[in-house]
């Protein structure tokens, strides 16, 4: 069962990476793919200082260059960089 979850996660990451590559017309800046979100996570646009809608902060979503990620208590966000690196933003980070 555990191997199935790992396989599903790898497939999801591959699919998300392909989706970002196909949708390059949205932005030419760097991007992060959201692999998972747990707890209260806020993403702020640095230009407008406005938070992104919660509907965009979900697994499979994309965060472009120029945003700040803030996590609350007991929160965590796992991100996939375009070079394949996986980064984890732990609780109470900004």
Give the residue extent of every domain in the chain: 2-89
Residue range 17-44: mean pLDDT, rounded: 75
For residue 21, the model assigns a pLDDT of 52
Q: For residues 7-42, b (16+ Cβ closer than 10 Å) or e, as one string? A: eeeeebbeebeeebeeeeeeeeeebbbbbebeeebe
- Edge to edge, what strands does the sheet with 76-81 contain? 62-64, 31-38, 76-81, 86-89
pLDDT classification of 3: cutoffs 50, 70, 90: low
Torsion over CA of 29, 94, 58 and 87, rounded to 10 degrees? Answer: 70
For residue 25, the model assigns a pLDDT of 47
Global model pTM greater than 0.75: no
């Amino acid at each position: 069962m555990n191997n199935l979850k790992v396989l599903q996660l790898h497939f999801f990451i591959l699919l998300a990476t392909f989706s970002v590559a196909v949708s390059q017309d949205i932005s030419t800046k760097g991007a992060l793919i959201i692999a998972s979100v747990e707890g209260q996570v806020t993403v702020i646009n640095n230009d407008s200082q406005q938070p992104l809608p919660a509907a965009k902060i979900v697994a499979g979503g994309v965060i472009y260059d120029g945003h700040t990620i803030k996590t609350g208590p007991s929160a965590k966000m796992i991100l996939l960089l375009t070079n394949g690196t996986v980064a984890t933003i732990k609780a109470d980070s900004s």
